[in-house]
Structure 1
Amino acid sequence: MTDENNHPVLIIGGGISGIVCALELYRLGVPVTLIEKEASLGGLAARFCCKASEACNKCFACVVDKKLKEISEQSQISQLTGAEITGVAGDQGSYKVSLAKAGNASELEAAAIVVAAGIDPYEASGKGEYGYGVIKNVVTARDLEEMLRFQGKIYRPSDGKLPQNIAFIQCVGSRDESIGNLYCSQVCCAYALRLIRAIRHKYPEVNATFLYMDIQPAGASFHDFLNACREDKGIRFIRSLPSRVYHSPVTEDLRVRLADTERGEVVEEPFDMVVLSVGMVLKKEAKPLANLLGLGLNEEGFLASPAPGNGIFVTGACAGPKDIDRSITHAKSTAALVHNYLNGR
C-alpha cells in the first residue's frame, strides 16, 4: 500500500456526497483532501430548507446541516475551497493533480481520486412555454425553497403577497424528448410534495395543485407520505403535463393550459403562482473535469462509472439523479470501495 501520509485521497466536490465520503474515509483512517471550486462547502443541498409539517417528512435537509457542522469541526481533513482542478497526470494510485486557487498554482499527489462534482438544476427558461424569466410569478421549486430558507416566507414576486392558489408543474427538463432529456430525475415528485406539505403547514389557507405525468416513489415511507398528501383537501392531484403558462389578459392571475384527463378536454385554470419542478443535469464544470480524468458520460449525460482498478471513483448525483438520502448512501459505499482499493494494492 502506498504511504498514505504522502498520498491522500483527493475528493473533488464539496457537496453532500463529497463531504460524507471525506468523513467516512477519515473514520477509516485514510487521509483526505477535499477540494471545492466555490467559496464554501455544501453545494446545492446546503440551500435546502427543512420541509417538516406535522412531523418530519424525511427531506434530509437537517442532515446536510449536521454534516456541514461536522466537517467544519474536523481540522484533520484538509479542505481547499475556491480551488479549481487544472490538470491531472499519472495513473493507478499515483496521480499528480494541478490546482489553481486565488491566482496561485500548486500540485497535489493522490493515491486515489473521488469525483463528487454534483448536478445543476435544469435551466427552466429552456422551456419557454412556461414563461420562466419572463412572467414574474412563475418560479422554480428551488426559488420557492430559498424564499422559505432565507426569508422565512413565500410570496408572489410581482407584489409580495401570499399566493392563495399555486400550481406545481412536474418534469420540467426531464422525460422530455424535445430537449433530449429522456430520463426521469427521480426526486422531483417527492421534493415538490414535501415542499407543498411544508407550505400547507405554515399557510393552511394556501391551496396547491400538483400536475404530474407519473409519481415516482422515493424511499420506504413514501407510500404513507403520498397517502397523507392525497388526504389533504388543500392539495389537488391532476395527471397532466401543461402545454402553456401565460398571463390572463383580464387579471394579474396566471393561466395554465392543460389536458384534464377526467373530463377528457383541454382546459385553462387560473393560479396566483406557478412553481416549476426542474430536473437534474450534470454540473457544467463536470464535463471538462471528466475530460481531464478520462471519464465518459452515460446515456443520460451523467458521469459514467470508471474502469475498475485505476483509482478513480465517481459518487453522488453526478453519476445519475439522486436525492440527499441516496447521495449519502452512495458516498458511504464509495468510501468503502476506496478503502478496499487502497488496501488491495
Structure 2
Amino acid sequence: MTTEHDALRVDYDARLVEEAVLRALRGRPDEWSFHEGRDRLYEIADVEERDAAFRELHGAWFVRLGLDRPVRHALDERPCLKTSVGRCAVTAARSKKDEGADLFVSPAEAGQSEADRRSIGIQVRPEGLLEPDRLLDLLRHELLHVEDMLDPHFGYEPVLPRSEVGPSYDRLLQDRYRALWDATIDGRLLRAGVASGAVRDRCLRDFAGAFPAFGERTPEVFSRFFDGASPTHADLVAFALNPDAHLDRSHALRRGTRCPVCGFPTYDLEPAPERLPQDFVTRVTEDFPDWCPAQGICRQCADLYRARPLSESAAALLPKSA
C-alpha cells in the first residue's frame, strides 16, 4: 500500500496492513462487510490479479479505519522531512521495543538527488496501529531524532568514538549519548505542547540511570539538556565522554575514574582501600603486580577478590574427575 503526503511517498508493508485491518475490525459491526467483499476476491483465477485485489481491499479499509493517521499526523508536524527525504517505509516490528523510526541513506548514484538517497524507516506492530495516541507520541519523538540527523547545525555523525577499553565502555557511551539526546528531544516536544508533563519524570529517571555519579545534582544537570536550546552532536558526545568535567572537583577525583584493576569506569569505589587486609592485597598483586591499595579498586573487583578464597574452597570439595 502506497500513499502520498505532500510529495513524500509512504509505503506500507502489505502484511502489516492486512494484519492491522483484521485486528481493527474484530468485533465491529462492519466486520461482516469486509469479509463479504474479501471472500469474493477468492473467485479471481489469476494469482497476481487476486493478490493485487487483496492489497487494494486491505489498503482501502486501512485508510477507512484511520489506521494511517498516526504516521500521517507525525509527518505533517515535520514538514522539512517531506522535502529532505524521498520515501518513508512502514514495516512490521517484531516487538514493542523494536518500534521506532530511523534514517537510511543509500550510496550516491549519478543524477540522484540528496533527498532521493534518503529514506525514513518506521517499524510498528500491527496492534500498535490500534493505539493511535501512543503511536503518535512515539513517532513524534522518533521523527524529531530524524530531523536532528538532517539538521546541519546538529552535525550528526552515525558512529560514536570508540574506546580503547573495549565494547563494555562503548556500550556505556551509547547509553549516555542516548539519554542526553532523548532529554533534548523530549524537552523540545514538551515546550512545543505535544508531550505530557509526565515525560519529564520518565526522562529524568533514564538520565539518572545513565549518569549515577551526579547524585543530588542530577535534576540540575538534567535541566541543562531537557530545558536547554537545541544541542549539537558534538556537545552530546563531549558530555557523554567526560561527565566528570561537570562534577565537583572533590567528586571527580574519586568517582567516574577507571578502576586500575579491571580498567572500566566506575562510580562505586571501595571506600577504604588502605584498610584492606594483606591477604587481599596479595591476591590482587598476584594478578596485577603493579597494583597497590593507594591506587584504589572498584567495589565489584574488591568483592570478586574477597570471594576468591570461598570459590577455591568450594572447588576443592568437588569430586575429582578420573
TM-score when normalising by structure 1 = 0.20
TM-score when normalising by structure 2 = 0.21
Give the structure with the larger strand fraction: 1
RCO greater where, 1 or 2, for CA within 8 Å and sep 6 or more? 1
